[in-house]
């Protein structure tokens, strides 16, 4: 506005600004910039740019054909292989982070801030609480499995007694823990470290968000509905949760089976082809029909009547 000497925030001003930025940034970034502008301008200038229809239309048009780049997802088999085969002396902390991150669909910042005070260790489970998340929704989840619990307790037993903070994850190296907490960038490389151990192609495509996407995908693949999925991941947006349901392999197989079942039911009716009308009188009487009406074809006929006697019992 200073450069163009504009004094009033109008729809054309916002549209011109976003149009200029669209030449150098992606569609997803444009939406982020619009969101920040909307909040800031509403607070500072008391102008609600959400009421500008041309701006919304412009953003939607720019979003056409754009495909967001997402983190790769691990399979259940790959996660189990890492937990069972990776060396504890090197990967114990990563194993525990994987177990908790997968059970609670945790973001990297949630793993970073996770406190031992919010983990209740029962004999047969861990009750974990995330008091505040990105969407400000409190979440609770459970970690089960004897092997998972043993790994967690082993890692916790190595925690130095003089650790001055309550953060769960502290640096781990060569079988020993230090008092230094694990930073958010280390959890950002969690997926990369697992992918490298498993020798997966393109390991850099596995990021800190892979664990959250993996958790949601496995949940959806095993029949989780959208309501429970939103609770599991703490999503407010139904569209985000629906994406996991829509992309679920199990859901696609279920749809395919439903279609195939209908196709099979249609194919079970055998088609009978009756002789041409020249072999019958003008009035064609079919004496009886079984409980299941079998379709039949009549060809080369005109001006004739078919009488059907159907026993409704």
> Does 252 score more than 90 pLDDT?
no
70 lies in some domain: no
Average pLDDT, the chain: 84
**125-129, 184-188, 211-215, 220-224: range with lowest mean pLDDT:** 220-224
Q: How many domains does the chain have?
A: 3
For 51-103, the pLDDT digits (tens) are: 999 999 999 898 887 777 788 899 999 999 999 999 999 999 999 999 999 99
pLDDT score of 273: 52
H or E element at residue 297: strand 296-297
Closest CA to 82 of 167, 218, 193: 193
Are the C-beta atoms of 120 and 127 separated by less than 8 Å?
yes
**pLDDT band for position 263 (cuts 50, 70, 90):** low
Q: Which residues of 32-46 are buried (b: 16+ CB within 10 A; e: fewer)?
A: ebbeebbeebeeeee
pLDDT score of 282: 47
Q: Between these two residues, 229 and 136, which has the higher pLDDT value?
A: 229
Strands 296-297 and 272-273, bridge-based pairing: parallel
pLDDT score of 49: 92
Q: Are residues 94 and 241 in the same domain?
A: yes
pLDDT score of 238: 83
> Does 190 score more than 90 pLDDT?
yes
H or E element at residue 111: helix 108-113
Residues 212-238, mean pLDDT to the nearest whole number: 86
Q: Are residues 133 and 201 in the same domain?
A: yes
50 lies in some domain: yes
For 148-179, the pLDDT digits (tens) are: 999 999 999 999 999 999 999 999 998 999 99
Q: Write the burial class of residue 26 (CB in 10 Å: 0-12 exposed, 13-18 middle, 19+ buried).
A: middle
Whole-angstrom distance, CA of residue 123 vs CA of residue 120: 10
Strands 305-308 and 283-286, bridge-based pairing: parallel
pLDDT score of 296: 60
Are the C-beta atoms of 186 and 111 separated by less than 8 Å?
no
Q: Are residues 167 and 200 in the same domain?
A: yes
**pLDDT band for position 283 (cuts 50, 70, 90):** very low
Please name every residue paired with 115 in a beta bridge, in sequence order, or none if there are none: 167
Q: Are residues 100 and 244 in the same domain?
A: yes
Percent of the chain residues topping a pLDDT of 70: 83
CATH of residue 158: 1.10.443.10
Strands 126-130 and 119-121, bridge-based pairing: antiparallel
Whole-angstrom distance, CA of residue 214 vs CA of residue 77: 12
Q: Are residues 142 and 221 in the same domain?
A: yes
Q: Tokens in use for 163?
A: 């650790």
Residues 299-311, mean pLDDT to the nearest whole number: 67
Instruction: Kindly give, in sequence order, each residue whose CB lies less than 8 Å from that of residue 313, ignoring residues fewer than 6 positions away.
Output: none
Domain residue limits at 186 = 76-252
pLDDT score of 200: 94
pLDDT score of 62: 87
Q: What is the pTM of this model?
A: 0.69
Helix, strand, or coil (residue 183): coil
- CA distances (Å), origin 86, targets 81, 82, 91, 95, 164: 8, 5, 6, 8, 30
């Amino acid at each position: 506005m200073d450069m163009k000497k504009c004094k009033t925030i109008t729809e054309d001003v916002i549209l011109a600004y976003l149009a200029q930025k669209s030449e150098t940034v992606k569609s997803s970034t444009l939406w982020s910039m619009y969101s920040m502008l909307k909040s800031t301008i509403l607070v500072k200038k008391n102008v609600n740019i959400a009421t500008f229809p041309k701006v919304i239309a412009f953003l939607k048009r720019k979003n056409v054909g754009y495909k967001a780049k997402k983190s790769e997802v691990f399979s259940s088999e790959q996660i189990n292989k890492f937990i069972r085969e990776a060396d504890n002396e090197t990967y114990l902390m990563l194993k525990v982070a994987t177990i908790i991150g997968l059970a609670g669909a945790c973001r990297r910042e949630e793993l970073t801030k996770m406190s031992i005070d919010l983990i209740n260790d029962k004999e047969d489970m861990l009750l974990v609480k995330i008091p505040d998340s990105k969407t400000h929704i409190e979440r609770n989840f459970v970690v089960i499995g004897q092997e998972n619990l043993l790994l967690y307790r082993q890692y916790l037993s190595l925690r130095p007694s003089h650790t001055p903070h309550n953060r769960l994850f502290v640096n781990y190296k060569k079988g020993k823990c230090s008092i230094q907490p694990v930073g958010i960038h280390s959890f950002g490389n969690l997926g990369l470290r697992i992918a490298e151990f498993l020798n997966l192609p393109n390991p850099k495509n596995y990021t800190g968000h892979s664990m959250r996407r993996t958790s949601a995908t496995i949940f959806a693949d095993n029949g989780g509905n959208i309501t429970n999925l939103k609770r599991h991941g703490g999503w407010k947006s139904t569209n985000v949760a629906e994406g996991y349901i829509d992309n679920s392999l199990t859901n696609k197989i279920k749809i395919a089976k439903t279609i195939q079942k209908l196709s099979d039911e249609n194919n079970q009716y055998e088609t009978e082809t009756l002789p041409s009308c020249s072999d019958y009188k003008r009035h064609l009487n079919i004496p009886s029909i079984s409980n299941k009406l079998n379709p039949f074809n009549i060809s080369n006929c005109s001006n004739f009547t078919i009488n059907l006697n159907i026993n409704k019992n």
